């Protein structure tokens, strides 16, 4: 039997264009085995129900824990306010009435009262490569700006390249706000990103490196914007996922090959392009295979969150943005051939390093058992001063 979910009330203001109720409705679509009802009287007597306040922001991890809970409970906020009720056994209507009145009453007082820390929720977000504390936050007009900033920050990957991590956040925040006000969807941004990807490749092919770099950098920025827009508005589609992830995987080596084709015969490297293209493919595909091999055969998480060394490596490893920096520096120096050569060398070095880390992970698992991410080993009150913690862990999650 499904878990019936009823949302009580709504927020007095929108967060990233969505009211609290609308956000919850979108988030709940991702959970199987649930059924949302507008009238709690329609919930069958023996069924389990989850009552949620629409004037709070809920972490998806918290919702998942409440849906899977095996006991009836009342979840309270840091201020002691009841924000969610998991109830069953024919007491749903009575529980709803008491919850709607503020949580006071015989039925709810008989339930266990939980705080977030009592749910024993994981802080490791593998999909975002970060450690982040679960949350349930009240929505109000006074807190709207702070909540939008926090929700945007939580949508960001913790371990990524240095451009995405430190250069893009501020302009991406403003771009996401513009997109929401203009009614633009993540797929619109992804399609625009695809257009600039193709145009940049064409410009590289014909040797218009400056123009191609402008469009290439704009594409990388849009690649950040579409993901953040999707997360803060809880908007996703199968087409969007395929376009976004497929584009990320396919286009980088094609850009490098197009860059090489744009080199004139004046450059000595132009006579060695077949070799360079082969090395590019070996380095790029090899790096991707190392990442996949680690996650499928060595550990259950991404290689870049295994140890702090791997997280630092992700800042500069041979992915699109660091390589684009190398190409840009080569063009600025008037030596686009050296820019391409540096990308080839950096790919091979990065893939060699990843290969070593995969072997080390495999040997460690054989001798010591399953691997764990260093994010899971952070000790509150002791590790806040470590460089890796300061760089990769949000302040709210260090305690």
More confident residue, 198 or 98: 198
Which residue from 5, 4, 94 is spatially nearest to 44, judged by alpha carbons?
Answer: 4
- State mean pLDDT over 364-371: 96
Give how far the C-alpha of residue 173 lies from the chain's centroid of Cα atoms, to the nearest Å: 15
Give 20-55 pLDDT, tens digit per residue. 999 999 999 999 999 999 988 888 888 899 999 999
Residue 363 has pLDDT above 90, yes or no: yes
Q: Is 97 left (phi over 0), alpha (psi -120 to 50) or beta?
A: alpha
Residue 69 token pair: 């809970």
Using CA atoms, how far apart are residues 168 and 68, in angstroms rounded to an integer?
Answer: 37
Torsion of CA 27, 32, 38, 39, to 10 degrees: -150
Q: Tokens representing 121?
A: 């929720």
Least confident of 74-88, 265-279, 368-382: 265-279
Region 157-180: mean pLDDT is 97
Q: Are 260 and 275 in contact (CB under 8 A)?
A: no
- How far is residue 355's CA from residue 345's CA, in Å, rounded to a whole number? 15
- Comparing CA positions, the residue from 130, 134, 108, 132 lying closest to residue 120 is 134
The better pLDDT of the pair 111, 294 is held by 294
Closest CA relative to residue 266, chosen from 340, 337, 211: 337
β-pairing, 136-138 vs 124-125, is unpaired
What band does 102 get if pLDDT is binned at 50, 70 and 90?
confident
Largest alpha-carbon pair distance within the chain? 86
What's the rounded mean pLDDT across residues 293-298? 96
Tell me the per-residue pLDDT of 172-206, one tens digit each, with 9 for 90 and over: 999 999 999 999 999 999 999 999 999 999 999 99
Q: What is the arithmetic mean of pLDDT over 105-123?
A: 88
- Over 90: is that where the pLDDT of 311 sits? yes
Model pLDDT, residue 96: 84
Domain 155-392 has CATH 1.20.120.1760: yes
Whole-angstrom Cα distance, residue 112 to residue 98?
15
CATH for 3-119, among 3.90.550.10, 3.30.750.200, 1.10.260.40, 3.60.21.10? 3.90.550.10
Q: How far apart are CA 55 and CA 21, in angstroms?
A: 7
> Percent of the chain scored above 70 by pLDDT?
99
Q: Which of 67-81, 216-230, 256-270, 321-335 has the lowest mean pLDDT?
A: 256-270
Phi/psi region, residue 274 (left: phi>0; alpha: psi -120 to 50; beta: rest), is alpha
- Higher pLDDT, residue 237 or 118: 118
Q: Note the pLDDT tens digit of each residue in 218-271.
A: 999 999 999 999 999 999 877 777 888 888 999 999 999 999 999 986 787 878
The secondary element (H helix, E strand) that includes residue 5 is strand 3-8
> Which one-letter DSSP state was computed for residue 18?
B
Task: Give the distance from CA 148 to its chain's centroid.
Answer: 16
pLDDT at 399: 64
d(C-alpha 157, C-alpha 130), whole Å: 6
Tell me what the pLDDT averaged over the chain comes to: 93
Sequence spans of domains, the chain: 3-119, 155-392
Could you give the C-alpha distances from 377 to 92, 238, 304, in angstroms and in order?
A: 40, 35, 15
The mean pLDDT value for 126-136 works out to 92
């Amino acid at each position: 039997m499904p878990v019936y979910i009823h949302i009580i009330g709504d927020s007095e203001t929108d967060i990233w264009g969505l009211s609290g109720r609308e956000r919850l409705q979108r988030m709940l679509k991702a959970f199987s085995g649930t059924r949302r009802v507008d009238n709690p009287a329609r919930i069958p007597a023996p069924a389990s129900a989850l009552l949620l306040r629409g004037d709070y922001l809920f972490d998806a991890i918290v919702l998942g824990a409440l849906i899977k809970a095996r006991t009836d409970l009342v979840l309270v906020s840091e201020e002691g306010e009841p924000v969610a009720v998991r109830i069953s056994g024919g007491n749903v209507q009575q529980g709803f009435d008491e919850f709607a009145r503020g949580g006071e009453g015989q039925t709810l007082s008989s339930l266990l009262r939980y705080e977030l820390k009592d749910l024993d929720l994981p802080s490791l977000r593998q999909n975002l490569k970060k450690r982040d504390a679960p949350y349930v936050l009240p929505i109000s007009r006074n807190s709207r700006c702070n909540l939008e900033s926090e929700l945007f920050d939580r949508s960001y990957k913790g371990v990524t390249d240095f451009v995405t991590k430190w250069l893009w956040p501020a302009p991406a925040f403003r771009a996401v706000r513009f997109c929401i006000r203009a009614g633009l969807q993540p797929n619109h941004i992804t399609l625009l990103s695809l257009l600039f990807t193709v145009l940049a490749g064409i410009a590289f092919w014909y040797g218009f490196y400056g123009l191609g770099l402008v469009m290439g950098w704009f594409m990388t920025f849009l690649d950040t914007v579409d993901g953040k827009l999707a997360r803060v508005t809880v908007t996703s589609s199968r087409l969007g996922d395929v376009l976004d992830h497929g584009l990320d995987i396919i286009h980088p080596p094609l850009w490098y090959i197009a860059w090489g084709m744009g080199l004139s015969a004046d450059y000595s490297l132009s006579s060695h392009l077949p070799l360079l293209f082969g090395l590019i493919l070996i380095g790029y595909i090899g790096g991707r295979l190392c990442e996949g091999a680690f996650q499928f055969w060595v550990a259950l998480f991404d290689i870049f969150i295994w140890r702090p060394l791997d997280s630092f490596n992700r800042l500069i490893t041979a992915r699109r943005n660091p390589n684009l920096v190398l190409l840009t520096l080569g063009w600025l120096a008037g030596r686009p051939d050296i820019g391409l050569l540096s990308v080839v060398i950096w790919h091979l070095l990065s893939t060699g390093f990843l290969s070593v880390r995969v072997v080390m992970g495999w040997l460690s698992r054989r001798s010591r058992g399953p691997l764990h991410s260093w994010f899971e080993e952070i000790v509150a009150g002791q590790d806040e001063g470590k460089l890796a913690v300061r760089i990769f862990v949000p302040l709210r999650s260090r305690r």
